[in-house]
Amino acid sequence: MKTLMAKGIKKIRQINGFTQPCPAFDGKMCRVYALRPRHCRDFVCRLLEGVQSGAITMKAALGKVRLASRQAETVRELMRKLGQTDETSALSCRLGEIMERPYDPMDSVQYNRERRRLMFQSQKLMQILDRYFL
Ligand code: SF4
């Protein structure tokens, strides 16, 4: 899982052309949106490209956005259950923090079950982002 996330983070880096997570991102939105760099202004996700070219309808595209939002919320909920409640950090950082913690056989069965669920749901989110947005 960690390797998959690392690949995902690397991919975002390559697309935006600079280090991620961006320090201007507050966990929900860009704090410098009006003054964001040119590569941010020029970035068009695959979904928007599809709408602009007519390959996908706006209605269908909004459905994909809702799908990704719901999946991100599922991931956030699991992170909260696992004690990672810093809502201002990027999901990738929060996930890294949780996964870096070494496996401890003394952790409760419930904790380990939630951690496995987080791995699975995060992978699912990456697949959605990779498939429709990147
Ligand atoms: S849009 Fe804002 S938060 Fe996003 S990468 Fe650009 S500067 Fe950072």
Q: How far is the CA of 24 from the centre of ligand 1 (A)?
A: 6
Q: Does 26 reside within a domain?
A: no
| Ligand 1 surroundings by CB, under 6 angstroms | 16, 22, 24-25, 30, 32, 36-37, 40
Q: Does 2 reside within a domain?
A: no
Q: Does 20 reside within a domain?
A: no
Q: What separation, in Å, do the N-terminal and C-terminal C-alpha atoms of the chain show?
A: 19
Q: Which residue has the tokens 């590569």?
A: 39
Per-residue pLDDT tens for 7-32? 444 444 544 456 667 888 876 788 89
Q: Does 75 reside within a domain?
A: yes
Query: What residues make up the domain containing 80?
Result: 45-132
Minimum-distance ligand 1 atom for the alpha carbon of 23: 8
Per-residue pLDDT tens for 35-92? 998 988 998 999 999 999 999 999 999 999 999 999 999 999 999 999 999 887 778 8
Counted domains in the chain: 1
Q: Does 8 reside within a domain?
A: no
Q: Does 82 reside within a domain?
A: yes
As beta bridge partners, residue 25 has 30
Cis ω before 102 (30° cut-off from 0): no
The closest residue, in CA terms, to atom 6 on ligand 1 is 40
pTM value is 0.74
Q: Does 23 reside within a domain?
A: no
Residue pair 108/83 in contact by the 8 Å Cβ criterion: no
30 contact partners, CB below 8 Å, separation of at least 6: 22, 24, 36, 40
Choose the weakest-confidence range: 78-87, 89-98, 121-130: 89-98
